[in-house]
Structure 1
Amino acid sequence: MATDWKRDLMLRHARLFLPMAEEPSRSVGYPHCDHGWQDILLRLCRRIEIALLDRETFEFVRIRQKMGILRVDWDAEASEDTEASIGHAVDLAVARSACTCEICGAEGQRYSKRGWLLTRCADHAAGDPVPNRPGFENVHRLRRWGDKPACITRATTARPTR
């Protein structure tokens, strides 16, 4: 029997989720994405737990795939510094999802299939590749963590000269 990695993630990081015992998939914050982004979400949860101080609270409101990338909605009662750290962790997860196949976790790119945007590897490709829009050509795979790609967004535009 296959394990439910989403339920396990919620139980392992109970401080970040409010799971419904009877139906975890109907819980607020339940991850609505495929197995390929499991590692991204695990790293995100770890980073958030590290950022939280003792009396601070955090809750995932929604985790889903939208426009081919990870979307994370959250709520926190925390200091500005902690919220900034959480925001940075979420930004890293979103950037990594933009070049990680949602199905298997391999290096991927965005595809358009009948108007739906998906991030897929060559083996799971569906539809037509989406060319990078101006301003989005700065998402690059920099290195691998284990067998999963790690992505980062970096500025590639030149500074204006006087």
Structure 2
Amino acid sequence: MARIVNDWRIDLMRAHPRLFEIVAEEPKHSFGYPLCEAGWRDVMERLCVRIEDTLQDGETFQFVRIKQKFGVARFDWDGEVSDQTRLRILEAINLAVARSACSCEICGAEGRLYSNRGWLATRCAEHAAAGDPVPVRPGYENVRFLRRTPGTANMYYARYDRATDTLTEVSPRPPHGEE
């Protein structure tokens, strides 16, 4: 008898069929199958809802790859969308990346970047294992360097507020006297 295993990733994909194309026989081999732990499930759910709310009639979107790299979530996608929709999708992705950067990939609690023999992961203190916290320049906690416009070098710094799930643009330079 086959053992049925509950997989939150497949549940996520099935809950958002407009964003994922699932290989029926092997869902784990589908494009966009999230290669991350359950602690980022909330990050993924928020992102999927934001993208679905953004898509207009006739527009298409499909995740190609979702993974953890350098301790944060990475998202690759393909689709046919308007320029306005593309900008809104990028905003949603920027929020998801920023949230992943301060959420433990294991449990979802507030976390930070740790290094364990060069392997970077965002974890809470309980799940950091033998890793060491990666130093952050004072005043730049939860600050991300993000792309403003798809396909361009138009970048900006933004501070992520986990409580309100928002990004606020900040200066790339520390306040006067903190250099």
Same fold, TM-score > 0.5, yes or no = yes
Structure 1 unaligned segments of length 5 or more: list them. Answer: none
Pair 1:16-2:19 in alignment: yes
CA separation in 2, counterparts of 1:30 and 1:48?
16
Query: Counterpart of 1:43?
Result: 46
Bigger RCO of structures 1 and 2 (CA < 8 A, at least 6 apart): 1
Q: Secondary structure at the match of 1:60?
A: strand
TM-score (norm: length of structure 1): 0.87
Structure 2 unaligned segments of length 5 or more: list them. Answer: 144-158, 175-179
Equivalent of 1:142 in 157, 161, 172: 161
Q: Secondary structure at the match of 1:111?
A: strand
RMSD between superposed Cα atoms in Å: 2.3
Query: Counterpart of 1:155?
Result: 170
Q: Secondary structure at the match of 1:62?
A: strand
Query: Counterpart of 1:88?
Result: 91
The aligned runs of 1:122-137 (5 Å cut-off) are 122-126=125-129, 127-132=131-136, 137=141
Deviations 1:25-69 (A, max 9, x none): 110010000000000100100000000011000010100000000
> Alpha carbons of 1:69 and 1:133: their partners in 2 closer, same or farther (altered >3 Å)?
farther
Query: Counterpart of 2:78?
Result: 75
C-alpha contact 1:58 1:74 (8 A) present in aligned 2: yes
TM-score (norm: length of structure 2): 0.79
C-alpha contact 2:111 2:125 (8 A) present in aligned 1: yes
C-alpha contact 1:72 1:90 (8 A) present in aligned 2: yes
**What is the count of residue pairs matched by the alignment?**
155
